[in-house]
Chain A
Amino acid sequence: MKKRRERIDRGIKARSEDVYALSSWREMLYLAGPRLLPAAAFLLLPLFLGAYWQKVMISVAVFALLAISWDMLAQTGMISLGQALFFGMGAYVSGILNFYFGMPPWIAIPIATVLGGALCTLILTPVLRLRGIYFSMVTLIIPLMLVRIIEATKIFGGTEGLSGMTPLPSTLTEIYLVTGVLLGVLFGLRRLMETDYGLVLKGIRDNDRSVTNAGIDIFWFKTQALFISSTIGAFAGALMTHVYMFVGMPVFALDYSILPMAAAVVGGSGTLAGAALGAVILVPLSEALRGIGGLRIVMYGLFLVVFTVAVPEGLFDYIQRRYHQMERWVEIDQ
C-alpha cells in the first residue's frame, strides 16, 4: 500500500461551496477545532485556577476586549492611541450610576456600556474627519486631559476616586461574564467584518475616496465603527469598576491605551482573533515580569521588538497558515 502526504484542508477546500458535505468527524474537528478549543479553554480554565490567576484571567479578557476594540477601529482606518478613553468612560459611568444612583451592577454595567460608548463617540466625532496621525494624537491626549479635569474640578471624588462600589456576586461570575462577552464579541465581530458591511468599513481604510465615490457617507460609517469599538471598551471598564469596587483616575492611565495596541500588533491586527491572542500572551507575561522589578519594562520591550521582527504578520496569521498547511498521510491505490 503506497502512501503520500496531503494537506488536510485539501478535500475540504474542493468542497468549500457547500461546507456541510464534510465527510468525516475528523474534518469536522479540523474545521471546528480552532473555534472550540479557545472557547473551551476560556470556559473550563477558571475552575482550575487559584484566586490570583483567576484575577489575571479577568485582566486577560479585559485587555483582549480592549485589543479587539482597537483592531476594529484600525480595520476602519482609525489608529487609536487612547483605548483608555473608552475603558475609563465605561468605568466612570458605571461607578457614578452605582455610587450616586444606587444602581446594581447588572443594570449599571449595561447602561455604562452603551452610554459610555455613546459619550466616547460624541467626544471623538469632531476629529473623525482628521486623517492618520492627527486622529491618533487626539485620542492619545483626551484621556490625559480628562484626568487633569477630574483632578482640578474634584468631581466624582477627584483624586480619591469613588470607592465602595457594589461587587458582583463572585469571582466566577466576573470571569464568566467577561469571557462570555469576549467570546461573543470576538465571533460576532469576526462575522460582521466578513459581511458586505465589514467590506465597506475595510474599504474606508484602504481607499476612502473610492468608498465616497460609491455614494457612501464615510463619516457616518466611521461613526458607527467608533461606536461599536468604544462600546466594547466601555464594557471592559464598567466591569472593572465592580471588580475593583473602585473607580478613579487610574482608569484613564496610559497602560489601557498601550497594552491593547501592543497585543493587537503581536497577535496580528486585522483578524480580531490575533488581538485576543496577543492579550493572552502579553498580560500573563507582564504579570510574571512583575517580580523582577525595574527591569520589567526592558524585558517587555525586548519581547515586543523580537516578536514584531520575527513574526511581522502577527502570530495569528502565522498559526493559521501553519494550521492550513498541516498534512496527513493518505493511501493511494495503484
Chain B
Amino acid sequence: MSLPTTLRVENISKIFGRVAAVDHLSCEVRRGELVGIIGPNGSGKTTLVNLISGFVKPTSGRILYNGQDITYTAPHKIVCMGISRTFQMVRPFYHLPAYKNMIIPLYSPRVRQLAGGRYGDRNAVALDLLEEVGFERDANVAYKPAGTLPQGYLKRLELAKAIALSPELLILDELFSGMSLAEVASVVPVIEKLRLAGKTIIMIEHRLKELFRIADRIMVLNYGQKIADGASTEVMESDEVKKAYLGSEG
C-alpha cells in the first residue's frame, strides 16, 4: 500500500480531571480507507473524534492532516480544510424544517469556495442531499420540523449535513445507533458511494455486524488506548479484545 496518509495521530492524550479519556494513542488513516473504531462505552471514541475535529484540545500529542499540524487549529478551520464529522448526540434545530437545517452547512465558506462563489439555490441543494440519504421526496419528510422526525431520520439528517460540506475525511460517530435495520441498509450504499468517490471515512460503531461488512480495517479502543488494529476477523480473535468486551458487558 503506497497510498498517502490522510490522518496521522501521534501519541495523543486527553485527560479530564483524573480520567485519561484518550491515553497515548497513535494511529494512521490512509487516503480512501474506511476505518472502523470500536470499543466499550467510555473507551474514548467520541473524545478521539473531538480531538481530531478540534472541538477538544489534547493534553499532549499531535494530529497531522495531509502532513499539516492541526492540533491547535480552530474547529471551523478544520472543517474548511476538509474534515467533517457527525455528532453521536444529534441536536438539530428542532423548530426548523429538516431541509432548513441543511442551510447552515451550505452557508459554509468551504461550500462557497468549492462552488467558486456560485452556490445557487441552497434550498434546492438541501432537498437533493436529503433525498440522497433517504428522505423520500414524495412524502415531504424534508419539510417537516426536525423536532417531529424519528431518530433514524435525524441521524440521516446529520449525515447529510456532513456530506454537504464535501469533506475529504468524513468521521461518523455512531451513525447507525437509533436506526432501524432497513434504515441502515439504505444508508450503507450512500457510504459506499462516498468511498467510490475517493473519500476517507472513519466510522465509530457499536453495530459491529454492519460495520465489519464495509470496513477495511478495525481499531479497538479500551480505556483510551488502542488495543488492536487490523482486519475485522483477526481483531476479534485477539484475547485482549475479547476480554475488553466481556469485561464491560459481563
Contacts and interface: CB of A to CB of B under 8 A. Distances in A.
Given A212-B75, A215-B80, A215-B165, A196 B122 contact: yes
Given A196-B103, A199-B104, A207-B91, A213 B74 contact: no
Contact size range, B? 20 to 34
Given A196-B122, A199-B100, A214 B105 contact: yes
B76 A217 contact: yes
B109 interface: yes
A200 interface: yes
B72 interface: no
A27 interface: no
B75 A199 contact: no
Contacts of B84: 213, 215
Interface in A168-212: 196-197, 199-200, 203, 206-207, 209-212
A249 B105 CA distance: 45
Nearest to A209: B55
A73 interface: no
Contacts, number: 65
B110 interface: yes
Interface in B107-147: 107-111, 122
- Interface size classification for chain A: 10 to 19
A211 B93 CA distance: 11
Contact of B107 (A213, A216, A218): A216
Nearest to B105: A214
Nearest to B53: A213
B55 A211 contact: no
A206 B80 CA distance: 22
B85 interface: yes
Please list the 7 inter-chain residue pairs (A to B) with the smallest Cβ-Cβ separation, ordered nearest first. Answer: A215-B79, A215-B108, A214-B105, A215-B80, A215-B110, A214-B104, A214-B108
Interface of B: 53, 55, 74-77, 79-80, 84-85, 87, 91-93, 96, 100, 103-111, 122, 161, 165
